[in-house]
Every structure is written in structure tokens, then in C-alpha cells.
Chains A and B, each alone.
Chain A
Amino acid sequence: MSTHAAPPPYSGPPTGPPTGPPSGPPSGPTAAHPAQTLDLSRTATIPLFRLVLVELRKSMNTLASFWLVVGIAILVVMVEGLLLVIVLVESSESTPGDYTVFATYITALALPVLAIMLVTTEWTQRTAMVTFSIEPRRSRVMLAKYLVCLVLTFAAVVLGVLVGFVCALICQVALPAETTWDFQAELIVGFFITQTLAMTLGFALAALLLNTPAAIVVFAVYRALPVAVFAIAASYLDWFADIRPWIDFEYAQGPLYDLSLSSAEEVGRLLVSGLIWLGLPLTFGLLRILRAEVK
């Protein structure tokens, strides 16, 4: 390094126009200094699956998220246990789907919170500085986070089905006559789709607000308030009742729950209302994160 031209020492304020040739660039790769540039040829881009792996781990490895998951598990076990006891005592009829529905409803309440925290904690705990230093292409990080939301939703559905079958198996042993095994798969698929939309909404609001409590509150209000307002408005205003299916996202999702979505009009309603209630916050939220200054 000794042959390298040092930046000229400070020699007082400029006293006039510079004279003479410059003393030469202080940097720049030359044969004598090959280390001046970074050789990227042997470094591979971080594969997306590894980012997903990291984000999945992040979604569960903090105190808050860990206890949220444990809390959900305990609640599911308690509710299913209670349900099982009632069914066994009353000798009621039951199918695996009955138990699955309960399990998935419980997870449906908590999963969006997990999705929200996965996004907001990067900002509230300021870990975004580290996350975006490791992968500066922020869109890839956000994509990984979204994929984690899908993975979590899928895992919740699978576990819900599993719980349903275990409970049904117990009933099968205790009440063989009362237990039937016709499983309504479309309900589960419908649940997965609507739950994915709910997760997307949580994700979008989290990106838009970048604050955990605010995102959770707005998420809850967002899901409940418009439905109530629209229902009231539609009952008083005839013209509103006509346009309501097009702007009420919950209403438009109705046919999704049992996979009865068939007509082009229903698809159109879903797209239009989805664009308003989901597309806009998601777009603005992602733009905010991609452009924000990370401090």
C-alpha cells in the first residue's frame, strides 16, 4: 500500500484557481492493487428459500410471537377437548370437519397478528437496518415475508385437519354409530383462500402503518366496521344495496367460503372490492417500505 498515492494533506483554504495537473487519482484498480474492487463472481445471490427460512424463523423466535403460537396451541387443545367432552357426554353426531372448523377459526384470529408482527417488528425493533443490510433488495425480503404468511396459513389448515381427524378417531372408538367420515374438503380449501386474504390484509396494513398495535387495531376495525356500515347503509338506501356487492369485500368473499364462486359477476365483485380494500393498502404499504429511509 505504500506506493499508493495518499490523499493530499489538507493545506489550507483554496486561494485561487487550482494550477497544475492533478496529482493522480487516489483510488482505482491497478495491477498493483487488485484488492481495490470486490470480486463478486464467486458469490451467489441469496436464494429466496433461504430468505423464507430466515423469515419463518423470525416469525416464531421472539418472546411475543413464541407465546402467541403457544397460546394458540393451548387454546385449540382446550376448545377441542371441551368439544370432545360435550360430544362424548351427549353422544352427539360428529364428523372430522366439525373439529377442524373450530381449530381453524381459532388460528384465524391469531395468524394475522403473526403476519402483522413479522412486518412491523422490523421497524419497531429497528431490525430492518440489519435485514436490509443483509439483503438490500427489499422486495425480495417482503416477498419472503409474504411467503411465510402463506406457509403459516397452510400449516394452520393442515394442523386443523389433523386435529379434526384425531378427534373424530376418538369419537369413532367411543361412539362408532354417531361418527361419520364425510369430510367437506371444499370448506377447508375455502377457508385456506379466505384466510390467505385475511393474512394479506394484515400484511398490507402492517406495511402501511409499520406499527404493531396500530396495525392490529386497524385490522380488527377494518374487518368489522365496513361490514356493519354497509349492511346498515344497504338496508336504508336502495341504490347502495345495488353497489354494495361491488365494494363490500367481506360480502364479496361470501361465495369463497364454500367454494361456490361460479358466476363471472361474483368474480368481478371479488376483484373490484379486493382492489379497493386489499390492493390499495398493499400497494401503498409496499411502496412505503421499498422507499422508506431505514433508521
Chain B
Amino acid sequence: MITVEGLTRTYGSFTAVDDVSFACRPGRVTGFLGPNGAGKTTTMRILVGLTPATRGRATIGGHSYHDLRNPGRHVGVLLDASAQHGGRTGREILTLGATAMGLPKTRVDEMLHLVSLSAEESTRRLRHYSLGMKQRLGIAHALLGDPQVLILDEPANGLDPAGIRWMRGLLKGYSDRGGTVLLSSHLLHEVEQIADEMILIGHGRIVAQGDKKSLLESGRQTKQATTTVASLDQDRLAGALRDKGYAVTPGPNALTVACAAVDVGRVAAELQVVLTDLRSVEGGLEDLFLELTSSTQREMPAYQAQGYPPQGPPPGYPQQPPPAGYPGGPR
């Protein structure tokens, strides 16, 4: 539904978006994930025609955004919830949108109800809104025209935990009904919980994309698995694991073993030691995310400070060609 092909945007010598290609499909929530300044917002602005692309093409449903006759009826956009006139009331902002899109006024009340903004709140001026309320209003504005596609930049920003859960349910229901969602975030946990597909971007380039499982699998290949285990007989288990050639570091509550959880489980089964806790500490997507985008991170990832592998640049992740089938990809 959303197709981005070889998109590049440069500012002088700085390349904000560098040859980005991806696709978002109906019925799926696609998470656009990357640290601040990675190029997420620029890519989304190009999608909506607010920023011209230096090279490449972005289409929504086969059309360039500029060619949509009444875009609000097809594509819901929320790029910045604060980009509204502070002197207008929430209701007035929605009314302006509904008027332009040619919607009945009842739609405004429906949307206010949907995002749980009360009648009293809707008559307050935007400058008195909290960030969370602005986000709710922005989501209401994006959904006004009953669009088939949603493009949301950091929609969870400023929402409280209950609000984030609410939005997750809203977007899940929306995509289950066949809607296409592209949302960005710099917070992995947010995206991890909502998104079916993920696009990891760092330094303007896509460093990895796919669903959560395939991303984790790709990450696993590059790194030694680590497992923590607790059992009723730690000493015997540690000894057996060492005999197998695994490095074991005893801790106060658990052993840390440099192998996959399944290997630990197998050894324990052989010894008939009762396990009380067994978990894989590969850090899930977070490590992968930090690793893939480490060249753009402003802070040192915590695991580097602890001497946790890998050190230095991640092995061979600096760039990824567009997946097969995309223009510019392998033929």
C-alpha cells in the first residue's frame, strides 16, 4: 500500500535519508524504528509531499500523495501533534479538517468520542492541552476521513501507559480491518508491541527490516547466545556445563552460561537437576536495535561499557541492499 523506492534526501552535504526502500501492506502495522535523527520523520514528510525528495519515489496505494484528490479521505496523517494553532480549540481544529474533507459535523463528535476527549476538553484551546491530549486530538484528526492508510510519527509520544495501551488496541483493530499503518518511534518497546513488521533505520539507511521473528533470527547469527539458569543444584549443573565446554559465570541467584537455553536444558535433563528458572538473555530486539544503529547512537550502549560483546562496529551491518524484488535490489 505504501511503497518507497530508493528514496534519498540530501541537505547540502548531509544525507538525511539515504536510498531507503520499503513497503507497507494492508492489514499490517509497520513500525519505523530508529534513534533520533535517523531519518524517520524526513521519510514520512516526503511520503506526504511536505518535503521534496532528492531522488527516488514514494507512493501510497499506487499514487503519489500529491495526486490524491482529497488525501484526507484516504490517508490519515499525524506528523506532529503540536503543529496546530495554539489559539484554536480542539473541536475547532477537527471542524476545520472535517469541512475541508467534506465530512458531516457529526464526524467531529464521533472522533472526539473515539479518542476520549470530553466535551469540556474539546472546547479548550490547544495551548492548554497536555502532550497526551494533543496526541489524542492528532489521532482523531488523522482518522477523520476514515482513511485506508495511517501515517503516524511518534504517536505514542506523551501518552501515559493507559493511553499507549489504548492506542495499541486502536491501531490493532484498525489494521485487522484491513488498514495499513506506518508508525515511527525511537522506543523499541512501543513498536515491538504494536508492529507486525519492523523497519530499522539508522543514519538515514535501512539497516534491517522484517517481522520480529526474522529480525531476531538474523541477530542471533551474529552473536554468542547467553542464558541464565537457576536450579536446585547449581554446583552440579555448573560443573556439567563446564564439562560440555560452555563458559559459566556464577552469580548470586543464577548461573550465566554462554550457550543457548536449549543446551542448558538438555544438560539439566541429562543430570536430572530441577530447574527453577531458565531464560535466554540475548536481550531480544533491544540489543539488535542498539547494535544495528550503534553508529548513530549518541550514547554508548550500556552493554559496551560492561565489556559485553560485541565491541566496536557490529559485524558487517553497515548497510543492507533493498530486499530482492525492490528496484535497486538483487535481480
Contact = CB atoms under 8 A, between A and B. Distances in A.
B80 A129 contact: yes
Choose among B25, B85, B221, B330 the residue with the greatest number of A CB atoms under 10 Å from its CB: B85
A71 interface: no
Contacts of A283: none
B212 to A, nearest CB: 10
B70 A12 contact: no
Given A36-B62, A57-B96, A13 B316 contact: yes
A40 B325 contact: no
B88 A61 contact: yes
B65 interface: yes
Given A51-B100, A125-B84, A18 B331 contact: yes
A11 interface: yes
A5 B85 CA distance: 43
Contacts, number: 184
B81 to A, nearest CB: 10
8 contacts: A1-B26, A9-B210, A14-B321, A51-B100, A62-B88, A129-B50, A134-B100, A136-B48
A239 interface: no
Interface in B30-46: 45
A126 interface: yes
Nearest to B148: A38
Nearest to B317: A13
A46 B80 CA distance: 23
Interface in B245-265: none
Contacts of A1: 25-28
B325 A24 contact: yes
Contact of A13 (B27, B61, B215, B320): B320
A121 B96 CA distance: 15
Interface string B59-97: 011110111111111100101101111111000100111
A77 to B, nearest CB: 24
A235 interface: no
Interface of B: 1, 3, 22-23, 25-28, 45, 48-52, 60-63, 65-74, 77, 79-80, 82-88, 92, 95-97, 99-102, 125, 141, 148-149, 178, 197, 208-211, 214-215, 217-218, 221-222, 316-321, 323-326, 329-331
A130 B84 CA distance: 8
B141 A12 contact: no
Contacts of B3: 27
Given A6-B210, A61-B88, A38 B215 contact: no
Given A11-B218, A27-B1, A38-B149, 5 more contacts: A7-B22, A26-B23, A38-B74, A40-B69, A63-B87
A10 B210 contact: yes
Interface string A152-189: 00000000000000000000000000000000000000
B222 A43 contact: no
A293 interface: yes
A118 B118 CA distance: 29
A38 B70 CA distance: 12
A136 to B, nearest CB: 5
A7 B50 contact: no
A23 interface: yes
Contact of B65 (A64, A130, A136): A136
Interface in A135-152: 135-137
Contact of B97 (A10, A40, A130, A136): A130
Given A62-B88, A130-B141, A18 B99 contact: no
Nearest to A40: B69
A136 B66 contact: yes
Given A6-B210, A10-B214, A23-B324, A54 B96 contact: yes
A136 B331 CA distance: 35
B97 A134 contact: yes
The 5 closest A-B pairs by CB, nearest first: A38-B61, A9-B214, A18-B330, A13-B316, A62-B87
A127 B85 contact: yes
A36 B61 contact: yes
A133 B72 contact: yes
Given A22-B324, A24-B325, A126-B82, A40 B45 contact: no
Contact of B320 (A10, A25, A50, A295): A10
Contacts of B68: 38, 40, 43, 136
A105 interface: no
A262 interface: no
Contacts of B23: 7, 26-27
A129 B79 contact: yes
B326 A26 contact: yes
Given A134-B97, A136-B65, A62 B85 contact: yes
Contacts of B317: 13
Nearest to A27: B23
A35 interface: yes
B178 A12 contact: no
A120 to B, nearest CB: 12
